[in-house]
Amino acid sequence: MVAYEGEMSFKKMTGGGDGLRGMVTRRLTGEQMAVMEVKGRGTCYFADRASEINLVTLRGETLYVESSNLLCTDGGLRTGTTFTGLRGASQGNGLFTTTVEGTGQAAIMSDGSAIVLRVAPDMPLQVDPGAYIAHTGRLKQHFQSGVNFRTFIGEGSGEAFQIRFEGDGLVYVQPSERNTIGGDL
Amino acid sequence: MNGPVIHDANTLPVDDNVNPYAFSVDLDGQWFLQKGKMIAYYGRIEFHGIGHGYLDALIRTSFHSPMHAADWVVAEGRGKMLLADRSFDVNSYDLEDGNLTVRSGNLLAFQPSLSLKQSIIPGFLTLIGTGKFVAASNGPVVFAEPPIRVAPQALVGWADCPSPCHHYDHQYLRGVLGGVRAWTGFGGTSGEEHQFEFVGAGTVLLQSTEQLMEEIPTGETPEQDGVPHASPHNQPSMPRMPGQLGDLQRRFGL
């Protein structure tokens, strides 16, 4: 929160705001978030280190987003954690990711304006793990690797790891790459 | 309320910017990229380090220097590919039978119809031929025509004009007092006493900040008389004295 007009009250939500079970899950999975709840009437402004903010409107779908990229959500949306598999490991963000479910809007942050890419059954998408921030829809993720012996003798292509998305949905990427374990290979 | 623009393989721009920070390449064949600048792609594209098998021949035709080829990747296949670099502004440029010299860290990608050579000026690369290339800058690029003097940090590159030379504000740097000023900052240095000067016909590319992008190695040049180096071997090793003191070193032949 950077500023507000009107009457607001702020309350810290212990452990990510998913109740006791959610709190334990977050601790275990390393997807901790410091969450607060704002209630009231007026305009409240949110910002974080001048990063770009993208609004995602959810109508009953699930948004999968890295907890570090989630800025705020409608109070009516449920947050949780889910297992992502190897993708998380390659990003250095752990094996789990945050989910946001329900109907309402969520704001996600990106370094530079995010690009929304559609994935259709006949149109799979490959994304650099460092540029991935979020996705919605029914997507299957594979971890794709181009590592071969050349990677180990220092002749790697610099694009050794990609996440391959298949199915039907939207993927949000940012025009910048986080430092990832696989980033230099 | 309008949602964000949703792109897919068919609606992504063809060899154009998606937004100020990302560029979409319609790939059918090969493109050369700096390592790690691809953020996403549709279609079937493979990435190989240069020097990989048959790609070895590219060093001869497109890179001309085996030394820095390791920092480049060949993207090969068909599809749409998105390029970006740490959310810097990216722009594409078309060269038509021309030449353009660019700071090594700013060049992101180029078509194989261009050939990449090391510039005589250390830390810069020159593209020659006809084709498209993508370069990043910190803030939008401004095009200027010579004669112009630019701050070294703001220079991105230049096209078709003779190489730049150094320019100093002599009023400010001259004599013992000027030397002390330049050396210590006492007495007020503006930080702008030194510029690159361009003359002749051509275009100079400037970025709107003075924050430099990290350089990538351009490869060593052969150690040979008459070849300029980034760390000059052909310069006197003794530091010049403040205020030059009438250039004592030179007078004593050091």
Supply B96's token pair.
């038509």
Q: Which residues of A touch B73 (CB under 8 A)?
A: 157-159
Average pLDDT over residues B66-84: 79
Nearest CA in chain B to A165: B42
Please provide the average confidence, as pLDDT, over all residues in chain A.
Answer: 76
Cβ A141 vs Cβ A171: under 8 Å: no
Supply A73's token pair.
């959500």
User: If pLDDT is split at 50, 70 and 90, which confidence band does A119 have?
Assistant: very high
Return the percentage of chain B with pLDDT > 70, whole number: 64
Nearest CA in chain B to A118: B8
pLDDT at B176: 63
Average pLDDT over residues A54-66: 88
B49 pLDDT more than 90: no
A147 pLDDT more than 60: no
Cβ B150 vs Cβ B206: under 8 Å: yes
**Residues B116, B34: Cα–Cα separation, whole Å:** 12
Spatial neighbors of B193 by CB under 8 A, at least 6 apart, are: B168, B169, B172, B173, B182
Q: Which amino acid is at B4?
A: P
Question: A32-41, A62-71, B16-25, B151-160 — which is least confidently predicted?
Answer: A32-41
**Residue written as token pair 């607060």:** A36
- Residue A126, classed as helix, strand or coil, is strand
- Residue B11, classed as helix, strand or coil, is coil
If residue A87 lies in a helix (H) or strand (E), which one and from where to where? helix A86-91
Supply B243's token pair.
């205020």
B100 pLDDT more than 80: yes
A56 pLDDT more than 70: yes
pLDDT at B232: 45
pLDDT at B75: 87
Query: Could A116 and B6 be called an inter-chain contact, meaning their C-beta atoms sit closer than 8 Å?
Result: yes
Domain A3-173 has CATH 3.60.160.10: yes
pLDDT tens string B168-213: 776 655 566 656 665 565 555 555 667 888 888 888 988 887 667 6
* B212 or B19: which leads in pLDDT: B19
User: If pLDDT is split at 50, 70 and 90, which confidence band does A150 have?
Assistant: very low
pLDDT at B250: 47
pLDDT at B244: 47
Query: Could A118 and B8 be called an inter-chain contact, meaning their C-beta atoms sit closer than 8 Å?
Result: yes
User: If pLDDT is split at 50, 70 and 90, which confidence band does A184 have?
Assistant: very low
B248 pLDDT more than 60: no
Q: How many Å lie between the alpha carbon of B19 and the closest alpha carbon of chain A?
A: 8
A156 pLDDT more than 80: no
Backbone angles phi, psi at B225, to 5 degrees: -60, 135
A109 pLDDT more than 70: yes
CB crowding A130-155: b at 16 or more within 10 Å, else e: bbbbbbbbebebebeebeeebbeeeb
Backbone angles phi, psi at B117, to 5 degrees: -130, 155
pLDDT at B182: 58
B84 pLDDT more than 70: yes
Where are the domains positioned within chain B? 140-208
Alpha-carbon radius of gyration of chain A: 18
pLDDT at B195: 84
pLDDT at A151: 47
Average pLDDT over residues A130-153: 72
B61 pLDDT more than 90: no
Maximum Cα–Cα distance for chain A, whole Å? 62
**Residues B85, B72: Cα–Cα separation, whole Å:** 14
Interface residues from chain B to A (CB-CB < 8 Å): 1, 3-9, 18-22, 33-36, 38-42, 45-49, 51-52, 70, 73-74, 82, 84-87, 90
User: If pLDDT is split at 50, 70 and 90, which confidence band does B58 have?
Assistant: low
Cβ A127 vs Cβ A135: under 8 Å: no
Q: CA distances (Å), A71 to each of A53, A74, A106, in order?
A: 8, 11, 8
Query: Could A55 and B4 be called an inter-chain contact, meaning their C-beta atoms sit closer than 8 Å?
Result: yes
A70 pLDDT more than 70: yes
Paired with A135 in beta bridges are A64, A171
Query: Could A131 and B84 be called an inter-chain contact, meaning their C-beta atoms sit closer than 8 Å?
Result: yes
B218 pLDDT more than 70: no
Average pLDDT over residues A38-67: 86
pLDDT at B192: 62
Average pLDDT over residues B110-121: 86
User: If pLDDT is split at 50, 70 and 90, which confidence band does B42 have?
Assistant: very high
Q: CA distances (Å), A96 to each of A19, A110, B170, B203, in order?
A: 18, 19, 61, 50
DSSP string, B203-247: EEEEESS-PPPPP----PPP--TT---SS-SSS-SSPPPTTGGGT
Please provide the average confidence, as pLDDT, over all residues in chain B.
Answer: 76
User: If pLDDT is split at 50, 70 and 90, which confidence band does B236 have?
Assistant: very low
**Residues B116, B101: Cα–Cα separation, whole Å:** 10
pLDDT at B224: 66
Q: Residue B18: which of B80, B106, B76, B73 has the closest Cα? A: B80
Interface test with B, best of A117, A136, A177 (most B CBs within 10 A): A117
Supply A144's token pair.
């794709």
Return the percentage of chain A with pLDDT > 70, whole number: 68
Supply A50's token pair.
């001048």
Query: Could A158 and B35 be called an inter-chain contact, meaning their C-beta atoms sit closer than 8 Å?
Result: yes
B253 pLDDT more than 50: no
